[in-house]
Amino acid sequence: MHLHLISFLLLLLAASNYAGPLAGQTVLGLPRPLSLSEVKQELIKAEIIPSVIDDFEPLYYLDVEWTNSHQSAKLGNHLSPSDVKSKPAKIGLRAEYAVTDNINHHTSFTVAMTDPDAPSHWDNKWSQFCHWIVSNVSAVHGRSLDKQGPAELKDIMKYKPPSPPPKTWYHRYVFIAFSSNSTHAPSKPKERKKWGTGKPGHGVQDWAKDNGLVPVGKNPR
């Protein structure tokens, strides 16, 4: 049996003219590295599972870095749009523990970046918004992976820098890494808004199902 693997990573960007937190909303504060099971619980709290992606059991962390701004995406960290105006320079997948059973060590992954808060958390008329899809991402099982640079990756949907509208609070930008049994590259969405589904609030989950991609992983510290 071939396992389908996915990594999750959540990053929060403040819109310009930040209006402050919404009533009842909390910003994730993570003082220590989390296990994959703990990360899953944080994603549920952040309403990523199941509103953005269906429930799943994670096997990998996903590391994303912007070397120009010396920033990386971590679970719920806060970055400004200026930090992420360039395409991420490095991406890598890593396992929490060594896992060898039923795993294809040469599996190539596809990473997607989506915004479920477009144009805002309380108005989903553009949601979800597809910011990036990149393929040919690899992982090494049971140990750290030297992150890949842009030259080794293949864009399916070119990177569009986040640009949250003024006074729309923090946006949740979610990176997800997928794998499948298919040898064909995933399709490009018809458009970025709503991932071409025409349905507000829909996006990466619909696209993943259409392309035979199944989630099973998680994000970093």
Domain ranges of the chain: 7-210
Amino acid at residue number 216? V
Residues in the chain: 221
CB atoms within 10 A of CB 64: 26
Distance CA 137, CA 125 (A): 31
Of 125, 197, 129, the closest CA to residue 157 belongs to 129
- How far lies 99's CA from each of 3, 133, 156, in Å? 11, 26, 29
Q: Residue 9: enclosing H or E segment and its boundaries?
A: strand 7-14
CB atoms within 10 A of CB 101: 6
Amino acid at residue number 204? V
pLDDT at 20 (0 to 100): 39
pLDDT at 73 (0 to 100): 79
- Four-CA torsion 141, 76, 176, 97, nearest 10 degrees: 20
pLDDT at 147 (0 to 100): 56
pLDDT at 140 (0 to 100): 54
CATH architecture of 7-210: Alpha-Beta Complex (3.90)
Amino acid at residue number 100? T
CB atoms within 10 A of CB 190: 12
Distance CA 87, CA 71 (A): 12
pLDDT at 105 (0 to 100): 52
Q: Residue 36: enclosing H or E segment and its boundaries?
A: helix 36-45
Per-residue pLDDT of the chain (221 residues; tens, 9 = 90+): 222 334 445 555 545 433 333 333 333 334 456 777 887 888 888 888 899 988 887 777 788 888 877 888 777 778 888 888 899 988 877 776 654 444 455 567 888 999 999 999 899 999 999 999 998 887 654 444 445 555 578 899 999 999 888 888 888 889 888 877 777 889 999 999 999 999 999 999 999 999 988 765 444 43
Q: Residue 94: enclosing H or E segment and its boundaries?
A: strand 90-95
pLDDT at 26 (0 to 100): 33
pLDDT at 168 (0 to 100): 85
- For 126, the 3-state DSSP assignment is coil
Distance CA 180, CA 71 (A): 30
Tokens of 179: 């794998």
